[in-house]
Every structure is written in structure tokens, then in C-alpha cells.
A = this chain, B = another copy of it.
Amino acid sequence: MSKTRVALVGAGFIADIHAESYHRFVPDAEVVAVYSRTESHARAFAERHGIPHWSTALDESVARDDYDVADICLPNHLHARMTIAAASAGKHVILEKPLCLTLDEADAMIAACKANNRKLMYAEELCFAPKYERVRQLVREGAIGSIYYMRQCEKHSGPHSDWFYDLDRSGGGALMDMGCHGFAWFRWMLGPEARPLTVYSTMQAGLIHPTRTRCEENALSIVEFQGGAVGIVENSWAKLGGMEDRVEVCGTGGVVYADLFMGNSALTYSEKGYGYAMEKAGSTQGWTFTTFEEAFNQGYPQELRHFIACVRDDTEPVTTGEDGRTVLEMLNAAYHSARIGQKVALPFRPTVSKPIDLWLGP
């Protein structure tokens, strides 16, 4: 059986991780094309990863018939348009988080994929991160009884790309960027029967990027689930010292703690410094937590491999457009909550054009 052909739509930080992950860990797929709106990015990316075709023509690209899967790694505001175009052109779609900017867009994306009988995977890598999956399995096994509390933190000192800081393209700040991970992961841990009931959030802006963005730089969000469990998500673009991604789970029969970055690292002291310690780490002089196989430990290869298998075997991805839509609804509720100082009940269907408007006002 021949390889499944993938086009990477986007050539930024996360597209690099996807390309590397396909290459090293997804033997049934081959990346045949890369698209970027910036010619130099597209060309350099194609060269770096040995991809035969590159182009800046995002919209026309979907008309080509030389690939099967569109892997969309674009800024958030382009997610809906590209997903719908790709699905309409008969491509399966795997899409980086968050799903899109509005619930209307979400519904249209899901409908387009359904109408064209194409698969839509919402790429939540935390559902594939092997350490977190180990945690989930032992919880499923009953190791810690019934979950009543979860915490998921994802914090760093701010994204590399400009578009994250531009609320029209991103739709929001640290919560929009990373809160989606925690919200999705809680649902993955609790299973589908545990609907999110309410969301409360508090947000802070102007911490270390005051001139660069009006977006929230730090957010604490509490979710209450049917069945009684509570989850707290902590997200920051103002946390110095490198990437933080960790979880705590408390149950009636025990607890589990897991840390994806510091918790998998070698501990290094270097007088003169070295090339790279971890994502968003600053200086490498002095003590650093040196990570390894970051993409693997975060679950990217496993996620992509899963989707390629879904496409080849015609099965449903474990994280679908509907999951992405629910997460987006929770994000909206969080922004609204941060404005009104109250927890917000779900379902919640605001009419704003991007989530952060619910906090800042349109």
C-alpha cells in the first residue's frame, strides 16, 4: 500500500515539528508539499525538510490532486477558511489548535468535512503525549480512584511569531493559545460522559509584553464537570525560564504528578552555555533543564501517526472537530467569565467575532 501524501499548510514553528515528526515516526506518510504565504518561508522549509513541492498559493493549492491530507498549521484566523476549502476539495484535514475563532466557523468546518465525507482531526497533542497517556491509563485502571481534581499548566515567556500577539489573527492570548490544551485534556481524562458545566477565569495583561499586545498574558481558569470533578488550567506568556507543561491529578484513591519538560530533562550546569536547552528557554549559561526528543514527548508524532492510520483505515480520530468546538466554547466562556467575574454556564453561544472580545469588549 502506498504512502499517504500530506501537504503542510503553514511553514512556521509548529509546521517544523510536524514535518520532523512525519519524517521520523510516521512511515506511512510522506510530506509532498508545503504552503506558506511567505515565499522565503515556503522555499526554506521545503529545502530544510526535503519536500518536493512548495508554493505560496494557499487557496489554489487545495485544487491539486497530488496529496490526500491537508495538515493546517496556519494562524488561527485562517483555520476555518482553509479547512473548508480543503475538505471541499476532497482532502482530509488535520488542524492545529485552537479549532478556529467562532462557533459559527466551527459548525461550518464540521459540516464541510461531513458533507464531503472527509475526516477532520483536531490535533490535541496532549492526548498523545506518552507520559500523559501513561497517566491516563493508570487512572483508567483505577490507580487513584475517582478523579475530583485536575490541574494542567502550560506556561512560557511568549510565542515567537507576531500573529499570536495580534488579537485579530489569534483571537486571544495565553488562554486562547494554550488553555485549549488543558480544556481538551480534562475531557480526555474524564471521558465523554463528563460534560463541562461551567467555566470561571481570571486574566492579566501588560505583564512582560505591555507594548506588544493587549492580549491576556496570564490566565487561571476553573472548569466544573458533570459528575463533580474540577479542573484548573493555568496559562502564561509571562513565565520566564522555559516551557512548562505539567499536570496534577487527584482522586479519591491517590494522586499523580507529571511534568513534560523539566520532568523529562537532564540537569546541566554550563559555564559558557550551549546551543539549546528547551523550547523558550533563555540563556543556557548556569543551570538548565536540558530536554530531549521534545516533539515525541509532547505527542506530535503519535498524534500524526494516529491520523494517518485513521485516514488509511477509515476510522474516526479520537479528537474530532466536535472536540475542538467544545474547547472553543469553553474558551469563549472563560473570556466572558473574566469580564463579569462569575462562572459561566455551558452551553454558551456568544456572537462575537473572536473570543477575546468577550473579555476586552469588541
Contacts and interface: CB of A to CB of B under 8 A. Distances in A.
A69 to B, nearest CB: 18
Nearest to A144: B270
Contact of A202 (B230, B254, B258): B230
| Nearest 9 Cβ contacts at the A-B interface | A241-B269, A27-B27, A143-B274, A134-B292, A286-B286, A258-B266, A287-B287, A254-B270, A342-B342
A255 B268 contact: yes
Contacts of A222: 202, 220, 222
B250 A238 contact: yes
A230 B288 CA distance: 25
B288 A287 contact: yes
B149 A275 contact: no
A133 interface: yes
Query: Main SS of the interface on chain A?
Result: mixed
A127 B265 CA distance: 17
Interface in A262-295: 263-275, 282-293
Given A230-B220, A255-B240, A286-B286, A133 B269 contact: no
A141 B290 contact: no
A257 B270 CA distance: 12
Nearest to A283: B286
Interface of A: 25, 27-28, 130-131, 133-135, 138, 141-145, 148-149, 155, 198, 200, 202, 204, 207-208, 218, 220, 222, 224, 228, 230, 232, 236, 238-241, 250, 252-258, 263-275, 282-293, 296, 341-343
Contact of A208 (B28, B200, B252): B252
Nearest to A223: B202
Nearest to A141: B274
B287 A240 contact: no
A286 B253 CA distance: 10
A240 B257 contact: no
Give the copy number. 4
Contacts of A275: 138, 141
A143 B254 contact: no
A278 to B, nearest CB: 11
A232 B204 contact: no
A148 B204 contact: yes
A250 B134 CA distance: 29
Contact of A271 (B204, B228, B240): B240
Given A207-B148, A220-B232, A254 B241 contact: yes
A355 B250 CA distance: 26
A294 to B, nearest CB: 10
A268 B51 CA distance: 43
Contacts of A291: 134
A208 B238 CA distance: 37
A8 B284 CA distance: 43
